[in-house]
């Protein structure tokens, strides 16, 4: 039977290595391609455990397959010896796993506390979970933004996180493990990116209808780019659009169609207090929107403004029954929010 051939030890080992090397190229959420010290520490620990597991795997599966082929019944085989057990072996295969596990336990415990420690001179950023997008606040700079977290490269970041509604789970696989966002209490997570690069984020915990579309981007940039970004973010939106232009028309739609109920645009409609939807002051600078599920382009915006729930089931953004002209104007206006 040719299936049995597959189970021959040699072929089996070969196939197992095929499985190990089956990794996907260019996966933006890849936890096996760390891009910062925190993720790298975890990665090292994972591979240590992995290779120990691989060794045990081959020992156990090898013993299993060997037994199957070597002790298979055949007519000339005598009845087996009736062995009931062996205390020495029992002790041996209790002690050896304990020693192996202890060798994993020591670095594990150390790493747990290392990862939890607040780094010195870290940039503090608040992450607030909403159904279904992440909001970011920079208390030191007075900035509020959404979906795209901008950080300086090679700088430790301390995230202080909570949720506005249900449990969420913040995950930037290339920078660190996950941490829950819990309503009513704060959790913390450190990030640190080696280089200027764009990373993907994703909500890990099931948080309702559009959990799968609760994504994010982390943009790490050079110190000078970051400073420029901060200065720009601190500005209000340009309020002096020439009357009669399409963008001006769009601004009127924003002010009158109901958008202001939930969205703030600094300098145009700043009200005090929390708003349940993303701050749009610098919308055009973000390459994604709608919980980072959609690329920021006019095609996606047209679909989104026509019926948000179509793209993001359960969304709190209503269909405002905008006309085609209004949508066009609004997109033009959003494009000016740099």
Partner 1 sequence: MTKIIEPKKQRNIFSRPSSEEGVWSWITTVDHKRIGIMYGYAAFFFLLVGGLEALLLRIQLSQPDNNFLSAAEYNAMFTMHGTTMIFLAIMPISAAFFNYLLPLQIGARDVAFPRLNALSFWIFIAGGLFLYSTFLFGTAGAPEGGYLAEEVSRLASAPNGGWFGYQPNAGLKYSPGTAMDYWAIGLQILGIASLVSAFNFITTILNMRTKGMRLMRMPVFTWMTFAVSFLLAFSLPIIAIALFFVTFDRQFGTTFFLTEGGGDPVLWQHLFWLFGHPEVYILILPAFGIVSEVLPTFSRKPLFGYPAIVFAGFGIAFIGFGVWAHHMFASAISPVAQAGFGLSTMIIAVPTGVKIFNWLGTIWGGRLTLNTPMLFALGFIGMFVIGGLSGVTHSVVPADTQQTDTYYIVAHFHYVLFGGALFGIFSGLYFWFPKVWGRMYNETMGKIHFWLMIIGFNLTFGPMHWLGLQGQVRRTWVYAEETNLGFWNLIVTIGAFILAIATLVFMANWIYSRRKGEVSPFDPWDARTIEWSIPSPTPVWNFSKAPEVKSLDDFWHQKYGEDEDGRAVRREGTDELLLQLEEEGLNPKEEIHLPSPSYFPVIMAFGLPFLGYAIIYKSIPLALIGVIMLLIGGFGWGTEPLEEEFESSEEEPESGESKNYE
Asked if residue 268 lies in contact with residue 237, where contact means CB atoms within 8 angstroms, the answer is: yes
- The distance of closest approach from Cβ of residue 318 to partner 1 in the complex, given in angstroms and rounded to an integer, is 6
Nearer Cβ to partner 1 (33/336): 33
- The distance of closest approach from Cβ of residue 171 to partner 1 in the complex, given in angstroms and rounded to an integer, is 8
Q: Which one of the spans 141-149, 150-158, 212-220, 328-336 is the region binding partner 1 (CB under 8 A)?
A: 212-220
Of residues 263-302, those binding partner 1 (CB under 8 A): 293
Main-chain dihedrals φ then ψ at residue 260, nearest 5 degrees: -70, -15
- The distance of closest approach from Cβ of residue 288 to partner 1 in the complex, given in angstroms and rounded to an integer, is 11
Q: Under the criterion CB under 8 A, does residue 28 sit at the interface with partner 1?
A: yes
HSE-CB at 285 with a 13 A cutoff on CA atoms is: 19
Among 171, 226, 283, 333, binds partner 1 (CB under 8 A): 171
Q: Under the criterion CB under 8 A, does residue 133 sit at the interface with partner 1?
A: no
CA 307 to CA 329: how far, in whole Å? Answer: 16
Of the candidates 97, 13, 10, the one whose C-alpha atom is nearest the C-alpha of residue 53 is 97
Cα distances (Å, whole numbers) of residue 288 to 33, 150, 197, 218, 333 = 23, 13, 15, 11, 16
Size of the site for partner 1 (CB under 8 A): 101
Asked if residue 237 lies in contact with residue 263, where contact means CB atoms within 8 angstroms, the answer is: no
Q: Under the criterion CB under 8 A, does residue 204 sit at the interface with partner 1?
A: yes
- 144: tokens are 């509020």
Nearer Cβ to partner 1 (30/194): 30
Among 5, 13, 51, 101, binds partner 1 (CB under 8 A): 101
Asked if residue 309 lies in contact with residue 315, where contact means CB atoms within 8 angstroms, the answer is: yes
Q: Under the criterion CB under 8 A, does residue 258 sit at the interface with partner 1?
A: no
Instruction: State the DSSP code for 183.
Output: B
Asked if residue 237 lies in contact with residue 227, where contact means CB atoms within 8 angstroms, the answer is: no
Nearer Cβ to partner 1 (138/171): 171
Among 9, 183, 228, 325, binds partner 1 (CB under 8 A): 183
Nearer Cβ to partner 1 (31/296): 31
Phi-psi map region of 132: left, alpha, beta (phi>0 left; psi -120 to 50 alpha) = beta
- The distance of closest approach from Cβ of residue 34 to partner 1 in the complex, given in angstroms and rounded to an integer, is 9
Among 36, 37, 152, 173, binds partner 1 (CB under 8 A): 173
Unique residue bearing structure tokens 């300086």? 152
Q: Under the criterion CB under 8 A, does residue 315 sit at the interface with partner 1?
A: yes
Q: Under the criterion CB under 8 A, does residue 310 sit at the interface with partner 1?
A: yes
Nearer Cβ to partner 1 (281/296): 296
Main-chain dihedrals φ then ψ at residue 169, nearest 5 degrees: -145, 115
User: Strand, coil or helix: what is 250?
Assistant: helix
Considering Cα of 297, then 303, then 304, then 309, what sign does the dihedral take?
Answer: negative
Nearer Cβ to partner 1 (284/309): 309
Q: Following CA atoms 9, 19, 48, 203 in sequence, which dihedral angle do they give, to the nearest 10 degrees?
A: -150
- Count of positions (residues) in the chain: 338
Q: Under the criterion CB under 8 A, does residue 9 sit at the interface with partner 1?
A: no
Nearer Cβ to partner 1 (11/67): 67
Among 119, 126, 158, 178, binds partner 1 (CB under 8 A): 178
Nearer Cβ to partner 1 (8/235): 8
Of residues 32-91, those binding partner 1 (CB under 8 A): 32, 39, 41-42, 45-46, 49-50, 53, 56-57, 60-61, 63-64, 67-68, 71-73, 77-86, 89-90
Among 147, 210, 281, 296, binds partner 1 (CB under 8 A): 210
Of the candidates 83, 314, 91, 60, the one whose C-alpha atom is nearest the C-alpha of residue 209 is 314
């Amino acid at each position: 039977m040719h299936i049995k051939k597959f189970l021959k030890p040699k072929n089996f080992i070969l196939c197992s290595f095929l499985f190990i090397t089956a990794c996907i190229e260019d996966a933006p959420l890849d936890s096996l391609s760390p891009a910062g010290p925190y993720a790298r520490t975890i990665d090292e620990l994972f591979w240590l455990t992995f290779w120990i597991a691989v060794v045990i795997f081959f020992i156990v599966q090898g013993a299993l397959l060997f037994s199957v082929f070597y002790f298979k019944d055949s007519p000339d085989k005598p009845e087996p010896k009736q062995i009931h057990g062996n205390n020495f072996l029992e002790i041996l295969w209790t002690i050896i796993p304990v020693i192996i596990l202890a060798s994993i336990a020591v670095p594990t415990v150390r790493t747990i506390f290392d990862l939890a420690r607040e780094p010195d001179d870290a940039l503090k950023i608040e992450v607030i979970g909403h159904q279904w997008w992440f909001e970011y606040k920079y208390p030191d700079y007075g900035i509020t933004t959404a979906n795209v977290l901008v950080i300086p490269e090679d700088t430790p970041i301390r995230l202080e996180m909570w949720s506005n509604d249900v449990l969420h789970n913040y995950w930037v696989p290339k920078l660190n493990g996950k941490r829950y966002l819990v309503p009513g209490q704060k959790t913390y997570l450190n990030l640190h990116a080696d280089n200027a690069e764009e990373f993907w984020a994703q909500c890990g915990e099931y948080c309702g209808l559009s959990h799968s579309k609760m994504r994010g981007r982390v943009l790490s940039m050079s110190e000078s780019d970051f400073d420029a970004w901060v200065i720009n973010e601190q500005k209000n939106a340009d309020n002096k659009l020439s009357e009669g232009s399409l963008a001006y028309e769009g601004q009127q739609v924003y002010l009158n169609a109901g958008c202001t109920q939930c969205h703030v645009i600094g300098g145009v409609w700043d009200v005090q207090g929390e708003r349940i939807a993303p701050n749009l002051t610098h919308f055009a600078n973000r390459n994604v929107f709608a919980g980072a599920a959609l690329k920021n382009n006019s095609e996606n915006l047209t679909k989104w403004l026509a019926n948000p729930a179509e793209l993001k089931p359960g969304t709190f953004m209503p269909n405002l029954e905008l006309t085609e002209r209004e949508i066009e104007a609004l997109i033009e206006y959003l494009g000016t929010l740099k």
